[in-house]
Structure 1
């Protein structure tokens, strides 16, 4: 594989600079040798390389080309914050610093190849160093959103059996509070200026670490990263990706949906805990030799986004549909974006009116894409193709995306069904290996010859895919996937709650919000409902991540149930959506 990469990147430079955008009838670009390689693997014409490592086979090759003057003078990484601080790394500097970080993990933390590390950090430069350092050492990285509570952290430590936890000063107390139940944890690494008892300080260790490090020789199918994803009937599942599924698979996402070249600077606002960060802040840009731009925004502020896009030479911008809704409400026409040329979004539905307003205010289209934690980019509106407002675009290679029925048969164009990926007779290599330690749930994702996404949709006569909604009860609020089971479990812990059911409720800004239907315990029936609502909301914020709390609460006498006693969330959800739509009229 290393020989292939070395020959591929110089060719890729010419391909990516080429203005040619030749389309075939099935919407697969014919100009890319990269996609041809992927399709050959997916079609069984070529095998996956036995060995592959993104750090040595891709990042170090860009560093070599950079040093030889064969790559545009663009940094690999550019970080800023509200205080005016900046960090810029070339690919060569990224390589050197990540080698130091690799030695810290191996020597100071005592970690070995295959060990797992949970990293819960905001958008700080060290998070990117840890990503690359884990690749170099063969250590499995488990990112987590910085909003995780102590209960969330304990579950992740116990489920993953992680041997190291990396976080900052603000979140360290939550980790310390669950240490008695974290029997697998061997070391704790803190990112910050100060010291903390029982913790190793990453900054101090990097200052004395050697940059002499030999990258491990990882196999293509070796584990690389795990993302926790919410479920409807249990706690989050662990989505496992290999060195090749992410390290090679994101080339189509970066090249086609993100439309990146080595001259581009990409800003993706995603939280570091989500798979979206892998899409637009690590693999997508770096496999194309682009610069990853980061603004350490603790909270999303439209005025900060406008000023940042005006001040810095950002060419590609990605944020969630909810954020785009906030931006157009702020009116982006007051700003000038001299470098911006490509905007993308994903993670939730994009309203056609938001797309139209953004176009009016900035002169730019928004190219919606679609993927999951279990995949790389599945569908996208590629630059140069007709955008149908509200659609997810067309399938990206090498995926064969279809709409299927309950028996696994492909349905006709225009008919609703489940969005699915063909996995038989050949499973695309750029998919997850499975849910770690959960073969039953992994097997449940296959229906006939297809992997089922759990999303409902239709495909029109031209091959565009349209999202309808979830097959299950997952709530997608401003791009955050929230499993009702977790919120219900938190509510039941409160003495006032006898029963609880959680569903989505439509919202003009977030798309969906969490709504809880609650049956009160007898002793609390006469309590003030307004005060009780606030108390329950605060309780959920403390027990689980704050973004999961129910923004709407309705107290009911009972919950609809099946004859076997199972709560019918679908009945509540249908009624809720119908009532809100009526109110809006």
Structure 2
């Protein structure tokens, strides 16, 4: 789908992501075209055209102006999937504020940490989200407004009714000239040794997001697209909002939770032709279809996956069950757009990441930044490109450490074969990839240590047939405590303070946590012992 080139100077309205996703689509004749079909869990359906999303996003931008929110201030999006999510996301960008999407089920402590770090001026959420914010309000004094989407009246000067504010605001907003390097989207990504880092992107990312959507997904005018990712995940913002809308696509969003019959109903009844999802979801469908005997009868042309390696077994099952090809893609929060991918026109090598997309120069290198030969395992490095992040918020030192000789170090290990295909081999740090979501072991450990009866803890990712990796907590307990006593407490507390995704799937009691002489947890020793593998070098372990 081609909806106009991104012409214009470095500072021009046309550079604005919000403009290109809405107003530009209307200028190009798509005002009455369906942009979004929203399907609830009980299959009530509503639609929004490009004209309607343009109007309501402009209205939200005007609300920000009426509240004296200025360019560069941060707006946190704390909503489940809904049409308002699109209005707020794109309206914030029209205003040249920074949009920071959070998972709506985020825990209290994680929410407070992120709100403090980004010094959010505005949070947009439901009454349930507002209740969380009220509990932590004393820790975030700089938050000016909490705009509540399901409140009819204002509570006080801070907690305001968003429907009331939007009813009072016009459906027009004059988007100002936007420099390509103006900050746009802020995503938090997990760190292995500290708090999650705020990844800063700019309006310049739009070029790469549109280009990759066209090169990889290859939608036609009559295609209907479904990206299952939440907006808080970079896939959900880049390929669930920005890329499809800036290309004039018709997309579907399902607000219900996963179940096989529900997802098949969405795929079949709403004419999905191009589907972007995660391997964990496909593994769940494979499991459930085997037990229920479910069958697919729909219009799919292609499936794409992201977030974790796509194993050949899933690829074969998708071919049998859906009768279409599936293409694995790879990118990170930091890259902002897909950089290595399988796609139509490129022969698929089952289990590979594919090849770099146009405009991406990728290589595999050793720890010193030296290029490696075919078949040699190292770390994926990328040359600079338009959607690459520009900083870690409040952490420029860590940002600088991500580059060597001008190349971005991804932290992902791989090798390249003789035909130029990349093959993923794992992470070079301790980050856990569970169900396509990255979890910081440090953040989970910090939460678990707050629980009475736990003296020490190490959190490790262990192989899992369904999730790729599961979160496991190795704990040292006080006298009289058992794993059974603590399992429920650990899961509930972690879900409330970090997120439900980070809650450990397994607890293993330890006499002690192995650490090196500088006090760093030796996670590889715990993992190898659990798996019955050789632990390797133990010379740096701290002795009693």
For normalisation by structure 1, the TM-score amounts to 0.86
CA deviation after TM superposition for structure 1 residue 539, in Å: 2.5
Instruction: Note the C-alpha offset of 1:534.
Output: 2.7
Aligned to 1:412: 373
Q: Summarize deviations over 1:235-258 as a string: whole Å, max 9, x none.
A: 11000000112x222022211222
Aligned: 1:535 with 2:489: yes
CA distance in 1 between counterparts of 2:368 and 2:503 reads: 36
User: Which secondary structure state, in structure 2, belongs to the residue aligned with residue 562 of structure 1?
Assistant: coil
Take 1:264 and 1:403, find their aligned partners in 2: how far apart are those partners?
Answer: 36
1:16 aligns with none
Match of 2:508 among 529, 536, 554: 554
Counterpart in the other structure of 2:240: 281
Contact 2:458–2:523 (8 Å) recurs in 1: yes
- Distance in structure 1 (CA, Å) of the matches to 2:57 and 2:492: 40
**Counterparts of 1:145 and 1:493 in 2: how far apart (Å)?**
23
| Superimposed CA distance per residue, residues 416-464 of structure 1 (whole angstroms, 9 cap, x where no aligned partner) | 0001102xxxx21221011011111001101234211111111111111
* Residue 436 (structure 1) aligned to one of 366, 382, 393: 393
Asked if residue 180 in structure 1 is aligned to residue 141 in structure 2, the reply is: no
CA shift in 2, pair 1:538/1:359, >3 Å: same
**1:263 is matched with which residue?**
222
Q: For the Cα contact (< 8 Å) 1:307–1:335, is it kept in 2?
A: no
Counterpart for residue 155 of structure 2: 197
Q: Deviations over 1:93-148 (max 9, x none)?
A: 211121111111221x3311111011111001100111110111111100000121
Q: Is the 8 A contact 2:37 2:46 kept in 1?
A: yes
Q: Aligned partners of 2:395, 2:316: CA distance in 1, in Å?
A: 43
Of 164, 170, 173, the residue aligned with 2:128 is 170
Q: CA deviation at 1:195?
A: 4.3
Separation in 2, partners of 1:158, 1:447 = 30
Aligned-residue offset at 1:538: 2.5
1:478 aligns with 2:435: yes
1:213-232 correspondence to structure 2 within 5 Å:
213-232=173-192
Q: Which residue of 2 aligns with 1:44?
A: none
Q: Say if 1:271 and 1:440 are closer, same or farther in 2 by CA, change over 3 A.
A: same
Residue 541 of structure 2 corresponds to none
Change in Cα spacing, 1:578 to 1:350, as seen in structure 2 (3 Å) is farther
Asked whether the equivalents of residues 261 and 289 of structure 1 are also in contact (C-alpha less than 8 Å), the reply is no
Give the aligned partner of residue 134 of structure 1: 92
Deviations 1:303-348 (A, max 9, x none): 1110111100222111110001111223398444433212111001
| Structure 2 partner of 1:446 | 403
Which residue is 1:467 aligned to?
A: 424
- Residue 476 of structure 2 aligns to a residue whose secondary structure is strand
Alignment of 1:72-221 (within 5 A): 74-107=33-66, 109-192=67-150, 194-195=152-153, 197-198=155-156, 199-221=159-181
Matched residue, 1:574: 528
Structure 2 CA distance for partners of 1:542 and 1:95, relative to 1, 3 Å: closer
Contact 1:413 1:458 in 2 (8 A): yes
2:75–2:97 Cα contact (<8 Å) kept:
yes
SS at match of 2:204: helix
- Name the SS for the 1:212 alignment partner: coil
Q: Following the alignment from structure 1 to structure 2, what is the Cα–Cα distance between the partners of residues 408 and 547?
A: 34
Q: Aligned-pair distance for 1:9?
A: 4.8
CA distance in 2, matches of 1:81, 1:552: 33
Cα 1:369/1:292, change in 2 over 3 Å = same
Q: Segments of 4+ in structure 1 off by > 6 A?
A: none
TM-score normalised by the chain length of structure 2? 0.92
- Greater mean deviation of Cα atoms: 86-95 or 306-315: 86-95
Q: Distance in 1 between matches of 2:358 and 2:239?
A: 18
Partner of 1:381: 342
